Amino acid sequence: MRWLGYLKSQLDDTESNVHKKALKNAGCTIIFKDSLDSLKERRSGFDLLLSTITKGDCVVVYDSVALGSSMTQFLDRFKAIQAKGADVFILDEGVKSTATMSFSESMALLSQIKERMNEARTKPGRNSAKARGMMGGRPEKISDRQTREIKRLYLEDIPIQSICERLKISRPTLYKYLKR
């Protein structure tokens, strides 16, 4: 029985090195790797892994995202490995395909895997936007000038209701900007 590692890396080499070290520590003698910039690129490393697998091997991945960027990809690759007679071990989740789980445990695991896949798909886009100076979330309702006006009116003992009506904001919004 051989322990074969499979690693899918995006652009961040630091994370890839951590995953590779974890696979080696798990006892993987051979590690197959795919470097991807896109979800649709062909995975030659995975194809090579499949052709190398013999019955009784164990394929080790750091996390479920390595096997697919969607639940369909994940399940297809998982089944392809098992069809070759190999087990799958997911380090991060601590799950081995030979383990027996209840239905609720299986559903919880699938839910966790789906959540990680969604995070892995959106993370590069968020990082790219952040590098360009764009921040996510709802735009600020109040400008810096209006924030200064809120504080000035509040210090002049203008009633809260009057300040809110004048600036067309709610009471919680007013208190939020007073704290800044």
> Are the C-beta atoms of 97 and 82 separated by less than 8 Å?
yes
Q: What is the pTM of this model?
A: 0.67
98-123 mean pLDDT? 87
* pLDDT confidence of residue 82: 92
The span from the CA of 147 to the CA of 134, in Å, is 22
pLDDT, tens digit, for every residue of 45-74? Answer: 899 999 999 999 999 999 888 888 889 989
* Residue 80 CA to its chain's centroid (Å): 24
The average confidence (pLDDT) of the chain is: 87
Task: Domain 3-131: give its CATH architecture.
Answer: 3-Layer(aba) Sandwich (3.40)
pLDDT, tens digit, for every residue of 139-171? Answer: 777 888 889 999 999 999 999 999 999 989 999
Q: Which of 32, 81, 90 is nearest to 57 (CA)?
A: 81
Q: What angle do CA 37, 41, 43 make, to 5 degrees?
A: 105
Domain boundaries, the chain: 3-131, 144-178
pLDDT, tens digit, for every residue of 30-44? Answer: 999 987 655 555 778
* pLDDT confidence of residue 58: 94
